[in-house]
Structure 1
Amino acid sequence: MKSTPRTLAAVVTGVAAAMGSAAAPAVAVGTVPVPVPLEAAEKTLHMELPSLSGEIPLPKPGKPDGPQFVEGRLLPARTLPQLPITGGLPGAGMRAPVPHVLGTGFDHADVGVPASDLRTLSPGLSVDAPLTRPNPDHMGLPDTKLPEAGILAPVLQTAPGADLGTGPGL
């Protein structure tokens, strides 16, 4: 009688560990796998079709850098801060049968484009008012100056890659 709850606990723990390890690669990269089912078309056409799969990235917004106060300016340096967004480029995979076109040892060709990390920063804005800080020489009144405006350029960083291969078997 005591072994039944232990056995059930071991099975539940094993299933949870298996599901956790299967989900770990998708969570680590931030993508959701998308299989393309072609089995019904294979049965209908009585032929072997390529296998297709994909990965859709999950973008994650980050915490923007706050305004930076600079001495001599009335407004902060980054009035509209840049918003960082991390995610990934979509990945795809295709494996197609190639019946001995390349020789007797080659039965398939495959293309793999793994999901790659992507880091972006949205554009930002930096402006300064046409007034200076209060000037003690003019009884505390600010001086006038030319207004300043600047656009912080967006940033896009990634390193995509692809694999092309042939080999025996499917």
Structure 2
Amino acid sequence: MKSTTRCSVAAVLACMASAVGAGSAAAVSVPVTLPLESLETVLPVPAPELSTGVPVPVPGAPQAPAHVAGRMLPYGTLPRIPLSSELPGTELGVPVTEPLGESTLGVARAGSEAADLSLATPGASLGAPLSAPRPELYGQPEPVLPEVALLTPSLRGAPAAGVLLS
């Protein structure tokens, strides 16, 4: 691959990375309260209360491909794209009634706290089916088996939860 082709591929990837990085904002989540009152017609117990949120992933800037000596294509040809989001807090409240009577004992609550999440999408690194020019072949490349490496996705976060009776 000529150096002009290699430079133009790097320029296109750099433009894509800057365009993705320019639109990033703070991690947010959209609050959602689920209406579960219709369960009271089917079940003989009071309906639970459930409030949670929907995480909104925000893309970050991917790492630029890195040139490695002896390879025609850069490492990280298809870069991993980092995403960040906030795992919203969830709260579930279920009224607890006395088994033999009509009085309520309280409300059993289960909840989780909001936590930050970070995710990186899978990526790939490709090797060309030709080697670098060989001096023993008078500057001609030699056919080789193409190399493919898959970069694994990652997910990081520290969610926490708890249960109480009030």
Identity rate, percent: 41
* TM-aligned CA distance change 1:155 to 1:71, over 3 Å: same
CA distance in 2: counterparts of 1:31 and 1:57, whole angstroms? 4
Alignment partner, residue 151 of structure 1: 150
Contact 1:31 1:115 in 2 (8 A): no
Contact 2:26 2:58 in 1 (8 A): no
Residues 1:123 and 2:122 aligned together: yes
Q: How does 1:4-153 map to 2 (within 5 A)?
A: 30-37=28-35, 49-89=47-87, 91-99=89-97, 107-153=106-152
Residues 1:165 and 2:164 aligned together: yes
Q: What SS does the corresponding residue of 2:68 show, helix, strand or coil? A: coil
Q: Which has a greater percent of helix?
A: 1
Contact 2:82 2:119 in 1 (8 A): yes
State how many pairs are aligned: 134
Amino acid at match of 1:161: A
TM-score scaled by structure 1?
0.64
Amino acid at match of 1:124: G
TM-score scaled by structure 2?
0.65
Contact 2:27 2:57 in 1 (8 A): no
